[in-house]
Structure 1
Amino acid sequence: MRWTFISMLAAAVLAVTRLRTTAQATRGRFVPASAREPLRLLRATVLPSPRRDRDHLLHWSAWRREHQHRAAEAHRRWNNITTAATT
Structure 2
Amino acid sequence: MAFDPREALREAGILGGPVAEELQGAFATLSEEETNLLIALKNRIPAMLPEVLAHSAGVQWSRPEAAQHGFEPAMLCACGLWSGAGQN
**Structure ranking higher in helix proportion:** 1
Bigger-Rg structure (1/2)? 1
TM-score (norm 1): 0.28
More relative contact order, 1 or 2 (CA 8 Å, 6+ apart) = 2
TM-score (norm 2): 0.27
